């Protein structure tokens, strides 16, 4: 828990926002960056970082009770939710019941909410606990918990019009669309100087890492580039991740499987890359990896999924390939590996696009516009 300043006068309460966020991962990075932008604009931010391990519901209840007076008095309570953010869901729910005004929520994986909120009632572990958490508690409680949260949330934010439309079809209102933020670029060298192909982010079948592994097997002309895989998998996808790691090392022991990396390390990996690959099968409304890659002016290969379509134009700001097509992906990597001029041209166009689209100022502008009734 981070408390920047005490909530005092009526004037200060109007400029104080409580921010409920997961303790790590992409949502954490986005929320903390928005908090810094809010501070620059004179707001106080009560930051509540929630872990998803242990007993999430019990931890959230204790936090809500301990902070109840402060949380009643702040102007807004803002929850950042992802599909696995069980702890943030529970804390947001408890706080919404304490406050008359409820909470506001950014759904990063919109239009879907948290997948298994009922599992947060116990500490999960392989075996019996997982069976109880997901087969019993989640099966019986997920729907009513989501209903109660929806009832107590007074404003929703998502990152695309398609996600907003889907929420409205589910009778979830009011919904506003935000621009995803991004840091200023740090890359000191163009993609033509890069020596790596980078895949980064949460590892699951939806992200298509297996497609990249198959494509890498087909590669001939780009073996002078090193493949780096950065990211982690949840317990659900550990077996999938291990299968891909083993398959990759079986024919390319020089590749790097980095696992979870810090935000700063991820930024460096992307800024040093020749190519960033996003072979997604499915996506949420926004991709933090894409925004970082474009901000850093990297050459991007992407599939036509919701998070990528608005930003990656084929042969302009990146290369677009079909979903589940290792041969097309191998061909695109091979082309970019052999054409440094093309890498730089795509990266330059991507950076221009990112400078217009991905800024923390724009994301916070969207939040404050709704907060202020604009």
**Are residues 172 and 205 located together in one domain of the fold?**
no
Cα 138 to chain centroid distance, Å, stands at 23
What pLDDT is attached to residue 358? 93
Domain membership of residue 32 (yes or no) is yes
Judgement on whether residues 156 and 214 belong to the same structural domain of the protein: no
Does 123 share its domain with 240?
no
- Nearest Cα residue to 301 out of 274, 265, 261: 274
Q: What is the CATH number of the domain that holds 65?
A: 3.40.50.11930
Residues 41 and 131 in one domain: yes
The verdict on residue 43 lying in a domain is yes
What local confidence, expressed as pLDDT, does residue 5 receive? 41
Question: Phi/psi of residue 257, each to 5°?
Answer: -110, 105
Same domain, 18 and 159: yes
Q: Do residues 87 and 219 share a domain? A: no
Q: In what order do the strands lie in the sheet with 319-320?
A: 256-259, 226-230, 196-200, 275-278, 299-302, 319-320
Cis before 160 (ω within 30): no
Tokens of 84: 């696995």
Examine the domain organization and report whether 262 and 126 are in the same domain: no
Position 185 in a domain:
no
Are 195 and 131 members of one domain?
no
On whether both 285 and 352 belong to a single domain, the answer is yes
Domain with 291 in it: 191-357
Q: Is residue 204 part of a domain?
A: yes
How far is the C-alpha of 357 from the C-alpha of 234, rounded, in Å?
30
Does residue 318 sit within a domain?
yes
Query: Are 213 and 320 part of one and the same domain?
Result: yes
The CATH number of the domain where 335 resides is what? 3.40.50.2000
What phi and psi, each to the nearest 5 degrees, are found at residue 63? Answer: -65, -45
Task: Please tell me whether residues 6 and 155 are part of one structural domain.
Answer: yes
Q: Is residue 186 part of a domain?
A: no
- Count of domains forming the chain: 2
**pLDDT truncated to tens, each residue of the chain (374 aa)?**
343 444 444 444 568 899 999 888 888 889 999 999 999 999 999 889 888 888 999 999 999 999 988 888 888 999 999 888 999 999 999 999 998 878 999 998 878 889 899 999 999 888 899 899 999 999 999 999 999 999 999 999 999 888 899 899 989 989 999 999 988 998 789 999 999 999 999 899 999 999 999 999 998 656 689 999 999 888 788 999 999 999 999 989 999 999 999 888 999 999 999 999 999 999 888 888 999 999 999 999 999 998 899 999 999 999 999 999 999 999 999 999 999 999 999 999 999 999 999 999 999 999 999 887 64
For the record, the structure tokens of 107 come out as 């759904």
For residue 344, being part of any structural domain is answered with yes
pTM: 0.84
The answer as to whether 9 is a domain residue is yes
Q: How far is CA 270 from CA 8, 19, 76, 188, 227, in A?
A: 43, 28, 35, 12, 12
98 and 207, same domain (yes or no):
no
Phi, psi of 17 (to 5 degrees): -120, 130
């Amino acid at each position: 828990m981070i408390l920047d300043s005490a909530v005092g006068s009526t004037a200060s309460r109007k400029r104080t926002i409580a921010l409920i966020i997961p303790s790590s991962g992409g949502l954490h990075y986005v929320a903390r960056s928005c908090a810094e932008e809010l501070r620059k604009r004179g707001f106080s931010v009560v930051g509540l970082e929630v872990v998803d391990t242990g007993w999430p519901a019990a931890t959230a209840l204790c936090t809500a009770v301990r902070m109840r007076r402060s949380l009643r008095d702040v102007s807004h309570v803002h929850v950042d939710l992802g599909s696995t953010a069980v702890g943030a869901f529970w804390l947001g729910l408890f706080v919404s019941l304490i406050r008359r005004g409820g909470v506001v929520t950014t759904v990063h994986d919109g239009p879907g909410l948290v997948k298994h909120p009922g599992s947060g009632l116990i500490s999960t572990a392989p075996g019996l606990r997982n069976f109880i958490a997901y087969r019993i508690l989640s099966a019986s409680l997920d729907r009513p918990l989501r209903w109660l949260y929806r009832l107590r949330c007074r404003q929703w934010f998502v990152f695309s019009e398609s996600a907003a439309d889907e929420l409205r079809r589910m009778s979830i209102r009011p919904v506003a669309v935000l621009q995803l933020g991004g840091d200023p670029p740090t890359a000191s060298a163009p993609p033509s100087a890069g020596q790596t192909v980078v895949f980064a982010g949460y590892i699951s079948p939806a992200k298509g890492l297996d497609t990249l592994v198959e494509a890498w097997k087909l590669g001939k002309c780009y073996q002078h580039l090193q493949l780096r895989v950065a990211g982690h998998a949840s317990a659900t996808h550990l077996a999938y991740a291990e299968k891909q790691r083993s398959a990759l090392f079986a024919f390319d022991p020089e590749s790097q499987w980095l696992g979870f990396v810090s935000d700063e390390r991820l930024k460096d990996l992307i800024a040093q890359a020749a190519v960033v690959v996003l072979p997604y099968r499915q996506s949420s409304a926004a991709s933090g990896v894409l925004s970082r890659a474009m901000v850093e002016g990297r050459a991007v290969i992407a599939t036509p999924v919701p998070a990528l379509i608005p930003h990656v134009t084929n042969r302009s700001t990146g290369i677009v390939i079909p979903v589940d097509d290792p041969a097309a992906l191998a061909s695109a990597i091979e082309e970019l590996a052999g054409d440094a001029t093309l890498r730089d041209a795509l990266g330059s166009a991507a950076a221009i696009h990112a400078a217009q689209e991905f800024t923390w100022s724009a994301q916070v502008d969207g939040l404050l516009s709704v907060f202020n009734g604009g």
